[in-house]
């Protein structure tokens, strides 16, 4: 299936089928000799994003200058998966430099969305990973997320994914082509799983906890029981669906900067109506105003972190072989002077102040258990058409766990008739987003996946996942109770 998926969508970079067959033989022998599996992932084909080192294999991250430079060691996440019995059978395609939201590079080509290979984006930067999982060429996969790179591909390919908090899963052995530790001068990438169901996400997170990464990587902010034994006494959230005190869900309709297009607003409205109609005694919806709470300040601040390092090394690396920038990066990636120490200190101070403010104005003042919001202000856009990243990058800036769960598809009624955008254009991001509502584009959205983000407060990955699970059950998008990954 992985081979067929790659022929149709260019979703792979490194094909490791020969070593995977050797690994499968070893696992079969182990089971025959001991009568026991090696771990909970015994024999399961698992893929990883090209950014993760595998000993003896390239991690070119879509940059030709990095081709034919095999890694010396495995990433810690790779060793953890192998210890649990996984078979790593391939690495998946990414955009050039992994800094784009459409996955294309000059080495392996463009990743195509299998639901509509000629029109819809496959997302980025974990686009190859999401496509492979969606096509059942991998049971589950590992991506990274610094601006939405797990959540956006999961959304556009009709599957699920979760971005944990910073440092929950080790990034040791992760490369983006930049200088060592350059990612710390900005927003740090979070490692997260991509899968077909929330049950699969739970299995992955259990493996991660049992891998005890904190004993090897000092950057890991976790300890025994951080996932399986949540410290939050309000959990499990599912008990609130039967208890006297209802589950309190905050509804954030926009980021306050870019107005959602009608199909996005319609999907969120349908979801809230369903929750209110069928669960009015067990779920209480709390509207969250992005401007009044201060959430609307997140996007501009996140963008300043993205440009803090200046991109000089990255652009020099790309230009060293005279390769052109990909279309999504060409108008966006520019070399700038790196932020001065005092400027970066000021950015950190602003981030800390915003984190503190929003803990109060969103979580404490509203006494909510989880937060629901769109993944983007537009449906799945045309190839290279992804616009605003503020709906996803905000939760990396704030370091809140966030996952994506499917809520249906764009309907014909969402795009037909006199459904024009109301109100004045709020700014450049909003203006570009409204161009995606051009009449000639609308019909192309029909049938595309529609998803929402489920967000938890900082340090509450399990709560975030339980919110996803509850939503999946409520809207009937989930699988049979207890079903986990299978090909």
Tell me the catalytic residues: 49, 125, 149
Give the C-alpha separation, 303 to 328, whole Å: 16
Give the C-alpha separation, 148 to 168, whole Å: 17
Q: Strand, coil or helix: what is 192?
A: strand
**Whether 106 contacts 325, CB under 8 Å:** no
What is the mean predicted confidence (pLDDT) over 204-228? 95
Q: How many residues does the chain have?
A: 487
Q: What is the pLDDT of residues 312-327, one digit of tens each?
A: 999 999 999 999 999 9
Q: Is the peptide bond before 421 cis (omega within 30 degrees of 0)?
A: no
Q: What is the pLDDT of residues 390-402, one digit of tens each?
A: 999 999 999 999 9
Q: Among residues 248, 206, 253, which one has the least CA distance to residue 227?
A: 206
Angle between helices 127-134 and 2-9 (to 10 degrees): 130
Q: Count the helix, strand and coil residues of the chain and give each as a percent rounded to the nearest 5.
A: 40, 15, 50
Q: What is the pLDDT of residues 150-188, one digit of tens each?
A: 999 999 999 999 999 999 999 999 999 999 988 888 899
What is the mean predicted confidence (pLDDT) over 339-350? 96
Where are the alpha helices (H) located in 336-459, listed in sequence order? 341-358, 390-397, 428-435, 439-442
Model confidence, pTM: 0.96
Taking the CA atoms of 295, 296, 302 and 304 in sequence, report the sign of the dihedral they define. negative
Q: What is the pLDDT of residues 358-413, one digit of tens each?
A: 999 999 999 999 999 999 999 999 999 998 899 999 999 999 999 999 999 999 99
* 79 contacts: CB under 8 Å, gap ≥ 6: none
Residue 353 pLDDT level (bands cut at 50, 70, 90): very high
Q: Among residues 136, 68, 147, 67, which one has the least CA distance to residue 105?
A: 67
Question: Among 28-42, 116-130, 154-168, 331-345, which stretch is predicted with the lowest mean pLDDT?
Answer: 331-345
């Amino acid at each position: 299936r992985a081979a067929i998926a790659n022929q149709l969508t260019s979703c792979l970079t490194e094909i490791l089928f020969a070593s995977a067959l050797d690994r499968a033989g070893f696992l079969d022998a182990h089971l025959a000799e001991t009568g026991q599996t090696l771990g909970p992932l015994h024999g399961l084909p698992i893929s990883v994003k090209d950014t993760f080192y595998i000993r003896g294999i390239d991690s070119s991250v879509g940059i030709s200058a990095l081709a034919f430079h095999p890694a010396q060691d495995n990433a810690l996440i790779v060793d953890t998966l192998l210890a649990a019995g996984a078979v790593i059978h391939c690495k998946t395609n990414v955009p050039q430099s992994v800094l784009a939201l459409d996955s294309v590079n000059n080495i392996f080509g463009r990743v195509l969305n299998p639901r509509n290979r000629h029109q819809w984006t496959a997302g980025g930067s974990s686009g190859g990973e999401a496509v492979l999982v969606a096509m059942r060429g991998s049971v589950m996969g590992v991506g990274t997320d610094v601006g939405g790179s797990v959540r956006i591909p999961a959304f556009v390919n009709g599957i699920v994914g979760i971005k944990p908090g910073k440092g929950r899963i080790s990034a040791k052995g992760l490369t983006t082509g930049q200088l060592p530790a350059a990612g710390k001068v900005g927003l740090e990438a979070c490692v997260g799983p991509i899968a077909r169901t929330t049950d699969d996400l739970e299995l992955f997170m259990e493996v991660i906890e049992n891998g005890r990464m904190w004993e090897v990587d000092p950057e890991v902010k976790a300890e025994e029981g951080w996932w399986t034994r949540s410290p939050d006494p309000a959990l499990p959230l599912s008990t609130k669906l039967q208890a006297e005190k209802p589950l309190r869900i905050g509804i954030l309709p926009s980021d306050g900067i870019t107005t959602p297009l009608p199909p996005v607003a319609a999907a969120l409205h349908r979801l809230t109506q369903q929750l209110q109609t069928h669960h009015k005694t067990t779920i209480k919806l709390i509207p969250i105003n992005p401007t009044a709470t201060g959430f609307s300040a997140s996007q501009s601040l996140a963008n300043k972190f993205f440009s803090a390092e200046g991109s000089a090394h990255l652009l020099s690396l790309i230009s060293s072989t005279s390769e052109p920038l990909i279309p999504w990066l060409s108008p966006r990636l520019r070399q700038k002077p790196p932020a001065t120490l005092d400027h970066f200190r000021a950015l950190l101070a602003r981030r800390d102040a915003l984190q503190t403010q929003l803990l109060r104005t969103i979580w404490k003042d509203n006494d909510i258990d989880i937060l629901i919001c769109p993944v983007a202000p537009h449906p799945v856009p045309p190839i290279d058409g992804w616009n605003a990243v503020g709906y996803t990058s905000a939760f990396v800036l704030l370091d809140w766990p966030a996952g994506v769960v499917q809520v249906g598809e764009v309907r014909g009624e969402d795009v037909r008739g006199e459904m024009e955008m109301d109100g004045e254009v709020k700014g450049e991001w909003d203006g570009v987003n409204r161009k995606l509502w051009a009449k000639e584009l609308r019909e192309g959205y029909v049938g595309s996946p529609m998803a929402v983000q489920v967000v938890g407060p900082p340090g509450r990955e399990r709560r975030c996942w339980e919110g996803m699970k509850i939503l999946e059950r409520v809207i009937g998008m989930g699988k049979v109770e207890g079903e986990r990954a299978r090909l």
